[in-house]
Structure 1
Amino acid sequence: MTQDAMDMPLQQEDDELPDAVPVPGALVPHLSECALLLDIDGTLLDFAPTPREVWVPPGLAKTMNRLLERTSGALALVSGRSLNDIDLIFAPSEFPAVGGHGAEMRLSTDSEAVAAHAPPMDKDLKKRLAAIAQLSPGILLEDKGYSLALHYRLAPHAEKAIYEAVSLIRADLPNAPIEVLPGKCVCEIKHSGFTKASGVRELMTHEPFRGRRPVFIGDDVTDESVFAIMPDLGGQAFSVGRRAHGVAGHFDEPRDVREWLAHLLDDEKMMTEKLRR
């Protein structure tokens, strides 16, 4: 496989993937036994023209705070966004989180954020990659600290040119420890020493997540590394918008995820009432 082919977005037709079933609440263990791990963009929240325009629907933060309480704190957001960015989106609420594709982590709402052994990207390399945004109006550059993202939702015609430019830089620096993450209308470049999966593995070694069965929901190619490790952790994965390999079920869109999370609380309440009788 050529370097150019490796750097182009991964596209898989649904027909090539195994069937996945829609997600009933019965597939999820009791909230006292599980850890809820949730991607943000395209999973909890609908996509927007730019990353800054995403919108938290009314009631979602309340649902998440109630789930955080019911799981005794074992709910975490798992995102490519930085922790600061996550907090801005959900303000004034704060949640445990794995940010920056595993580069940083916060174990609880009252703990300090820590870097998860993530080295920063070389500054000169960042400058070269950032210059790619000048290829076309509409390409938005996002510096996430540990990674750099080139969004082209407003310039879809520029997709091929972006990946070709990234490939040329990688060919010029073959020993640079970087990884290209193709996403939905975004090309992200980060240091190769960490992933969402490595962040989740680290998270699950700490209280209150340790010993629980993780339930991860994600939508994009960058979430596939977490899908892959769920069996190792005794957990389950669910995809959004497409049927992905290795998942127990799928949701059609973020709205379905939000409704399902709210139903988890209702199911838990009904189960508790039955136990009391």
Structure 2
Amino acid sequence: MNEDLLEMPLEDEIVGEEEGAPETVPVPRSLVPHLSETAVLLDIDGTLLELMPTPREVWVPPGLSKTLNRLLARTNGALALVSGRSLNDIDLIFAPEQYPAVGGHGAEMRIDPDNESVDSHAPPMDRELKRRLAAIAKLSPGILLEDKGYSLALHYRLAPHAEKAIYAAVSLIRADLPNAPIEILPGKCVCEIKHSGFTKATGVRELMTREPFKGRRPLFIGDDVTDETVFGIMPDYDGLAFSVGRRAQGVQGHFDSPSDVREFLAHLLDDERDAALP
């Protein structure tokens, strides 16, 4: 990656409405095709679940697992969570339920929750590099370190004043390793470092070649910068993309909050039930 980290957008520049983004409207359910023809793809943090001060504080609201299970059945298995979190972390959040998922920003994928087989698309991050990056957490109390195996995240929601110092420190390390195959992902109060060569979009592209997702029209909902790679490929599948909390480029509509997303998903099931009534 040749781009200077110091020139990358910081958190306060990426979470609001994008300059020049088209005016979008609240999502009409009529846009969504029949669930038997749809692949439902959902980000987790900030999309299905509210963001919390620390990654471990997120929780699954009552009724969400029931909605996801019903969607999984109605789509004949073509529902997947698409997250920067590892598959193990996803399973811990939704325990005891397990879902098809793309984890680690596309680094790993599981199609069948009943099958322990996991497709891995990236090696674990170099241990010495991870050690150097982890030391950045000592810059200020409140910086939280999250080791995802394929990536490392520095959360500063509890230390917003440390944002520029974090990116400056990462930039210095990156300058020492100009040929290292790593990529920096700025997000909502988080700076994440991962292997280059895979993204949520590459994971979704692979997912869409597999049954039962193959040949369906994808519906993807996401909220953060890392989800924009998936927004960008939705036209290749005649897919639908919706953003949460901000009006992003290339989406058909937006939701104000994760609670709106959960309500929308529940209503998709209600709409199909009503359509089936005589």
Structure 2 length-normalised TM: 0.96
Q: How many angstroms does 1:112 deviate by?
A: 2.3
Distance change (3 Å), C-alpha of 1:114 and 1:6:
farther
Partner of 1:200: 204
Distance change (3 Å), C-alpha of 1:7 and 1:166:
farther
Q: Residue by residue, what CA displacement relative to the aligned partner does 1:211-230 show, whole Å, maximum 9, x if unpaired?
A: 10000000000100000000
Structure 2 distance, partners of 1:46, 1:27, is: 25
Partner of 2:5: 4
- Equivalent residue in structure 2 for 1:153, among 157, 160, 170: 157
4+ residue runs of structure 1 moved beyond 3 angstroms?
Answer: 4-8
Matches within 5 A, 1:61-100: 61-100=65-104
Q: Partner amino acid for 2:5? A: D
Partner of 2:227: 223
Q: Partner amino acid for 1:4? A: L
Q: Partner amino acid for 2:4? A: Q
Q: Partner amino acid for 1:39? A: D
Partner of 1:268: 272
SS of the residue 1:150 aligns to = strand
Q: Give identity over the alignment, percent.
A: 76
Q: Unpaired runs of 5+ in structure 1?
A: none
Distance change (3 Å), C-alpha of 1:261 and 1:20:
same
Partner of 1:243: 247
Partner of 1:119: 123
SS of the residue 2:263 aligns to = helix
Q: How many angstroms does 1:170 deviate by?
A: 0.7
Conserved? CA contact 1:7–1:167, under 8 Å: no
SS of the residue 2:23 aligns to = coil
Q: Partner amino acid for 1:73? A: G
Structure 2 distance, partners of 1:75, 1:3, is: 37
Structure 2 distance, partners of 1:106, 1:6, is: 35
SS of the residue 1:93 aligns to = coil
Structure 2 distance, partners of 1:203, 1:4, is: 31
Partner of 1:56: 60
Structure 1 length-normalised TM: 0.96
Instruction: Answer with 12-21 or 153-162: which moved more.
Output: 12-21
Structure 1 distance, partners of 2:256, 2:59, is: 19
SS of the residue 1:22 aligns to = coil
Structure 2 distance, partners of 1:165, 1:113, is: 38
Structure 1 distance, partners of 2:101, 2:5, is: 33
Q: Partner amino acid for 1:259? A: E
Partner of 1:213: 217
Number of residue pairs the alignment of both structures matches: 274
Q: Residue by residue, what CA displacement relative to the aligned partner does 1:144-168 show, whole Å, maximum 9, x if unpaired?
A: 0000000001101000000000011
Q: Partner amino acid for 2:221? A: I
Conserved? CA contact 2:48–2:261, under 8 Å: yes
Conserved? CA contact 1:36–1:76, under 8 Å: yes
SS of the residue 1:255 aligns to = helix
Structure 2 distance, partners of 1:79, 1:6, is: 26
Q: How many angstroms does 1:18 deviate by?
A: 1.1
Structure 1 distance, partners of 2:194, 2:3, is: 20
SS of the residue 1:205 aligns to = coil
Q: Residue by residue, what CA displacement relative to the aligned partner does 1:103-148 show, whole Å, maximum 9, x if unpaired?
A: 1111022122423321221111111111100000000000000000
Q: Residue by residue, what CA displacement relative to the aligned partner does 1:226-249 show, whole Å, maximum 9, x if unpaired?
A: 000000122110000000000000
Partner of 1:173: 177
Q: Partner amino acid for 2:129? A: L
Structure 2 distance, partners of 1:234, 1:113, is: 30
SS of the residue 1:16 aligns to = coil
Q: Partner amino acid for 2:179? A: N
Distance change (3 Å), C-alpha of 1:153 and 1:146:
same
Structure 2 distance, partners of 1:28, 1:124, is: 47
Conserved? CA contact 1:8–1:163, under 8 Å: no
